[in-house]
């Protein structure tokens, strides 16, 4: 292996190790933040506090967030429920091409020497995959 190639590979390993170490710290900090947030929310609920104002200009406000689960498994149940409750489900349906399936088709086209349409704005560039990477100290 050439000295320059070895130097660049070692630089990549060093940067990647540093990135992974930072990501691990960041992931831990995010978890800690979410835990602290949960404790603050619980405290505010237990004490009937909806809004706080501080001299530094921050204003923690207890708000309600709603989420739902819409999956392939519940697709038909949801459509039936919408038809029963609002009479028609057409305003709730969105049909979009499936990007991962289209990407696989484009990759096959390129492998076969075919040119995908320009409107897809295909971007193909070299990337690096390191098989066997187990993480290294930064």
Residue 133 has pLDDT above 80, yes or no: no
| pLDDT attached to residue 134 | 75
pTM: 0.65
Go through 46-56 and write b for each residue having 16 or more CB atoms within 10 A of its CB, e for each that does not. eeeeeeeeeee
CA distance 1 to 47: 66
The residues pairing with 51 across neighbouring beta strands, listed in sequence order, are 61
| pLDDT attached to residue 136 | 58
Q: What is the pLDDT of residues 21-65, one digit of tens each?
A: 999 999 999 999 999 999 999 999 999 999 998 899 889 999 999
- Ranges of each domain in the chain: 1-66
| pLDDT attached to residue 137 | 53
Q: What is the pLDDT of residues 8-17, one digit of tens each?
A: 999 999 999 9
């Amino acid at each position: 292996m050439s000295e320059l190639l070895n130097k660049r590979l070692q630089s990549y390993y060093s940067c990647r190790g540093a990135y992974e170490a930072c990501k691990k710290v960041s992931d831990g900090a995010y978890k800690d933040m979410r835990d602290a947030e949960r404790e603050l929310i619980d405290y505010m609920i237990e004490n009937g506090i909806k809004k706080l104002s501080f001299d530094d200009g921050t204003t923690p406000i207890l708000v309600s967030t709603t989420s739902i689960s819409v999956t392939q498994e519940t697709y038909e149940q949801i459509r039936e429920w919408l038809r029963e409750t609002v009479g028609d489900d057409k305003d709730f349906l969105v049909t979009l091409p499936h990007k991962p399936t289209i990407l696989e088709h484009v990759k096959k086209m390129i492998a076969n020497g075919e040119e995908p349409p320009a409107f897809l704005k295909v971007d193909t560039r070299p990337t690096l995959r390191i098989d066997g990477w187990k993480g290294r100290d930064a």
